[in-house]
Homo-oligomer: A and B are copies of this chain.
């Protein structure tokens, strides 16, 4: 199904963790900034698995460049994407021992890796760090709730919401370059690839977006997109 090319990868050097260094705990506001300049770099090729569903959750990851999807294969063979992670985003942090979804690099992707045990044990000593973990998980919770609400909307609304979300997350201007394929988008939105494609074409006809190439999107009218998102 996936071309799981096991690249020769940078070895994990778990020494450089939060535990061994004694970093002044993360700043109050944002969670887990202590991760900014640490962790071992790892590179993954397109569609390469980073971890599998129900594998032990030994590491936590931060996207440096590229993009990551988490997903689950449903019993009927369809794939549901749980989230996209973009540069700066942290993923793979679980409270329990196992990952709930698998994670795959979308294109060539660089991440930094941290030992979960280091993060957790830090939280056992430092309440502020513990709060950062709580905040992080709460943000994930909020994201999944929004995703859940997306899945009960019409195809147009789902696609429009998706484009607005991606624009917020990875574009300063009205132009954006999607890192993921139509199939990825479809599996994220709970639609088929054909429906996503048709819907985008419709948005072009409505002058809500421009589509200079299949992965380049120009938001021509955020207002229209937002109104669709009824």
Interface size in chain A (residues, C-beta < 8 A)? 40
Interface residues of A in 91-107 (CB under 8 A from B): 94-96, 100-101
Interface residues of A in 49-108 (CB under 8 A from B): 72, 74-76, 78, 80, 82, 94-96, 100-101
Cα A126 to Cα B137 in complex, Å, equals 19
Cα A75 to Cα B153 in complex, Å, equals 10
From known contacts A123-B130, A127-B127, A134-B95, infer whether A149 and B75 are also in contact, taking CB-CB under 8 Å. Answer: no
Select one of B95, B125, B139, B151 contacting A135, CB under 8 A.
B95
Asked if A198 is at the interface of the complex by the 8 Å CB criterion, the answer is no
Asked if A215 is at the interface of the complex by the 8 Å CB criterion, the answer is no
What chain B residues lie within 8 Å of A12 (beta carbons)?
none
Select one of B95, B148, B229 contacting A147, CB under 8 A.
B148
Contact B190 A151 (CB under 8 A): yes
What chain B residues lie within 8 Å of A229 (beta carbons)?
75
What chain B residues lie within 8 Å of A126 (beta carbons)?
127
Cα A160 to Cα B142 in complex, Å, equals 26
Asked if A138 is at the interface of the complex by the 8 Å CB criterion, the answer is yes
Which chain B residue lies CB-closest to A147? Answer: B148
Asked if A196 is at the interface of the complex by the 8 Å CB criterion, the answer is no
Interface residues of A in 125-162 (CB under 8 A from B): 125-128, 130-131, 133-135, 137-142, 144-145, 147-149, 151-153
Asked if A194 is at the interface of the complex by the 8 Å CB criterion, the answer is no
16 A/B residue pairs, CB under 8 Å, sorted by A: A75-B229, A75-B230, A80-B152, A82-B148, A95-B138, A100-B142, A101-B145, A124-B127, A125-B127, A127-B127, A130-B134, A134-B134, A134-B137, A137-B137, A137-B138, A147-B148
Can you add 20 more A-B contacts, CB < 8 Å, to A72-B149, A152-B190?
Answer: A74-B152, A74-B153, A75-B230, A78-B152, A80-B152, A82-B145, A82-B148, A95-B135, A95-B138, A100-B142, A123-B130, A123-B131, A124-B127, A126-B127, A130-B130, A134-B134, A134-B137, A144-B144, A144-B148, A151-B151
